[in-house]
Structure 1
Amino acid sequence: MRFGVSFLPDSAPDTKPATEYFSDVLRMSRIADESGMHYVKMTEHYLHPYGGYCPSPLAFLSAVAAQTRSVRLMTGCVLPVFHHPIDLASRIAMVDAISDGRLEIGFARAYLPYEFEALGVPMDGSRARFEATVDAVGRLLTEEGVTLDTPFFSFRDATVLPRPAQAPRPPFWIAAVRSPESFVRIGELGHGLLITPSGTSFDDALVGSYRESFARAHGAGAAPRVAASLPLFVAETDQEARRVADIHLDRYLKVWTSALTRWDDTTSSDYQGYTGFNRIARTLTAKDLRSSGTAFVGSPAHVADQIGRFQERLAADVLLWQTDFGGLGGAEAFRSLELFASEVMPLLDGAPAEPAAATV
């Protein structure tokens, strides 16, 4: 089992200045590196307190690379429908070189209507655009003189520079949330799976369908990989952990559901089941996240037990801790992460291991 930290800023200038936010998460990144964790992950979003502080995960991870020695760097995720593949592949290769081959790339399809509208990208057709862009990025990172002609972009004889430090390229992960077809397709493509279970509605069988489709497509020569991102807060006692974490979890839920408001009246053929789902999200509380086992809050012993129960369900290969939820930072966040490393990881046999190679 591998561990890391997963960041998704949910702050605005009137709640937490960007300089303070990045100071906090860069320090948490250094703690993760120094304590033997395996990953630092950052997410791309725009225009809203939900993620808007980080329009460029690759820029953030370049800063992390300069301040750490061995921790792996993961985008979680970049949104390829908003990028030309040559630009994205070139930036990926650059950060892979800066980090001496520590980069892994998580892709997500994007799902917030206001981002598509502002950037002039139609939501309908985004699934096909997503697959075409990810495929093009993969080819540009592994081939020279690439020529492609798609409904979304075209180019001839393209060789991106620099070339990736890792051979054949950095490992790829793809996020999936609700659509069974997405889980199956990720397995068929041979990429790692990124999930963010939340609330009470995550269907464990979706992960099973990913593993089954991976095995059918790739046999015994490659192994599926599952990474789950979940809020974490550790304190000396359960009571103290809940006292601090619940305030920040409720703040996170408020910001998230604010970002989902446009789904009250947005429809898209590529996002079946999304219209109106904010009505359910708005009912969630910090207690719901804790009781459903999708936010780990408590003393070291309690958190270790929660992780054990979660792993009985999903057996994830990587657990990525959201340690910045609700503007959480400063001494409380640093202490939580240090307690996890010093008191929880030994209970879970979470000692550092060599990074896994790319699957396909």
Structure 2
Amino acid sequence: MGEKLRFGTFIAPFHPLRENPTQAIERDLDLVVHLDKLGYDEAWIGEHHSAGYELIASPELFIAFAAERTRNIRLGTGVSSLPYHHPLMLADRINQLDHMTRGRVMFGVGPGALPSDAFMMGIPVAKQRDRMDEALDVLVRLLRGETVTRKTDWFELAEAKLQMTPYTRPSVEIAVASQVSPTGAQAAGRNGVGILSIGATQTGGFNALASNWAIAEDVARENGKTMDRGRWRLVGPMHVAATREEARAQVRFGIEDWLYYFREVAALPLAPTEGDPIDALVDNGMAVVGTPEDAVRQIERLQQQSGGFGAFLTLDTNWAEWDAKKKSYELIARYVMPKFQDLNINRDTSLAWARDNRPRFIGEAQAAVGARVAQHIQQKGTENIRPEILAAMGLDKKTDAAE
């Protein structure tokens, strides 16, 4: 048995404007609780500050609240936008969460996805990736408990050190967001941390999976670090039901709201612009809208393209009504996870062994029963023995009486 593939969700989240925002955030919390009960491994929570759909401004606040409602699931910032925060303040909050969650927190980082967020803070979009690199280089050291002095054109650290020793040693797990460009892979390799391939099923992101991992490994070697495929997470949309027809009917509920956001507002070119959107998303491999078997094939496709990764995260889209969405996650847990986690290998072996040895076991069982019946006949006769039992032994009451 090899290393099992982990499963989780990536909650940006996406909530259309026609919904109650307070209830929408509550459902996000309820989803994490639901996944914890289903045995999911991870949930990643986004940070956004504009455009009205992605409502969670502080993944740390969400994680602190969700940690109290859950038992096992690990909770990550998906992702913290590094140019928006002073590194010491952000490191201190993550370190506190590491203690409060007893090591269940993960730290996902990125440059910031929405240009409108950066604009409101006066951050030039062209500088976001450089600032992410500068911040990450010191955050890795701070979260390991080191003392850091650094001055840039946007932050300064003077003998900065976290006042609490990290709960997780040597540090909380860190992962860098990656789409198509090598920026995330380079940052991950330079610091020897994980990768969150957020657009893994999008055509550009899918095609870049293997090359970006190779870039990360090359940069890691140059910096005396190593990369671990177990810390590579791939993200993609997935909604499953008992049949493809049911799945397609269910996602009609919210897919147009999601498409509107990506067509008109967000900076990511994820949404098809022509034809039936479900056909387009499924046919180009970007999304699964179908059955658990379709989900299995998608993950196998990603494994082949990437060369192997550690976790698959379902992009939480809110395409379907709440109950149908929860059922989709349940079906993935019931029928998809076992395929990639070797959950039934011993069960299969046990069943095959019992089946192949059935004649011997049945023979021994029948012999044991026969011996007891014969013993009873010898002691008490056949008066209380059912005729079919005697027939099975080649006896009848007359024969027994004559004997």
Q: In which range does the TM-score fall when normalised by the shorter chain?
A: 0.7 to 0.9
RMSD: 2.5
Q: Which has the higher contact order (CA 8 A, sep 6+)?
A: 1
User: Residue 157 and residue 46 in structure 1: after superposition, are their counterparts in 2 closer, same or farther (change >3 A)?
Assistant: same
Q: TM-score, normalised by structure 1?
A: 0.84
Deviations 1:246-298 (A, max 9, x none): 442332121122223xx6xxxxxxxxxxxxx85x8462633222222221221
Deviates further, 201-210 or 287-296: 201-210
Q: Does the aligned pair in 2 maintain the 1:33–1:71 contact within 8 Å?
A: yes
Does residue 7 of structure 1 match 2:11? yes
User: Residue 203 and residue 156 in structure 1: after superposition, are their counterparts in 2 closer, same or farther (change >3 A)?
Assistant: closer
Partner of 1:16: 19
State the 4+ residue runs in structure 1 displaced beyond 4 angstroms.
219-222
Deviations 1:300-356 (A, max 9, x none): 223222322232222332101123434x4521111111111122222333659xxxx
User: Residue 350 and residue 194 in structure 1: after superposition, are their counterparts in 2 closer, same or farther (change >3 A)?
Assistant: farther
Return the letter of the residue paired with 1:253.
L
Partner of 1:241: 247
- Structure 1 distance, partners of 2:343, 2:81, is 32
Partner of 1:252: 258
Partner of 1:26: 29
Does residue 339 of structure 1 match 2:331? yes
Partner of 2:119: 117
Which of 274, 282, 292 is the aligned partner of 2:284?
A: 292
Deviations 1:118-176 (A, max 9, x none): 11111222222111111222222223443221222113122224432101111111112
Q: CA deviation at 1:207?
A: 2.4
> Which segments of 5 or more consecutive residues in structure 1 lack a partner in the other structure?
264-276, 353-360
Partner of 2:228: 223
Does residue 283 of structure 1 match 2:273? yes
Partner of 1:50: 53
User: Residue 250 and residue 195 in structure 1: after superposition, are their counterparts in 2 closer, same or farther (change >3 A)?
Assistant: farther
Q: CA deviation at 1:24?
A: 1.7
Deviates further, 203-212 or 329-338: 203-212
Q: Which has the larger radius of gyration?
A: 2
**Within 5 A, what are the aligned runs for 1:187-202?**
187-197=189-199, 201-202=203-204
Partner of 1:206: 208
Return the letter of the residue paired with 1:19.
T
Partner of 1:71: 73
Q: TM-score, normalised by structure 2?
A: 0.76
Partner of 2:148: 146
Q: For 1:125, what is the secondary structure of its paired residue?
A: helix
- Structure 2 distance, partners of 1:18, 1:282, is 27
- Structure 2 distance, partners of 1:195, 1:16, is 29
Number of equivalenced pairs: 333
Deviates further, 232-241 or 197-206: 197-206
Q: Does the aligned pair in 2 maintain the 1:229–1:319 contact within 8 Å?
A: yes
Q: CA deviation at 1:180?
A: 3.1
Q: For 2:71, what is the secondary structure of its paired residue?
A: coil
Q: Does the aligned pair in 1 maintain the 2:237–2:287 contact within 8 Å?
A: yes
Deviates further, 42-51 or 205-214: 205-214
Deviations 1:196-236 (A, max 9, x none): 23775325453223332343334896524321111121211
User: Residue 207 and residue 302 in structure 1: after superposition, are their counterparts in 2 closer, same or farther (change >3 A)?
Assistant: closer
Q: Does the aligned pair in 2 maintain the 1:80–1:107 contact within 8 Å?
A: yes
- Structure 1 distance, partners of 2:40, 2:93, is 25
> Which segments of 5 or more consecutive residues in structure 2 lack a partner in the other structure?
345-403
- Structure 2 distance, partners of 1:191, 1:249, is 34
User: Residue 198 and residue 72 in structure 1: after superposition, are their counterparts in 2 closer, same or farther (change >3 A)?
Assistant: closer
Which of 44, 47, 60 is the aligned partner of 1:41?
A: 44
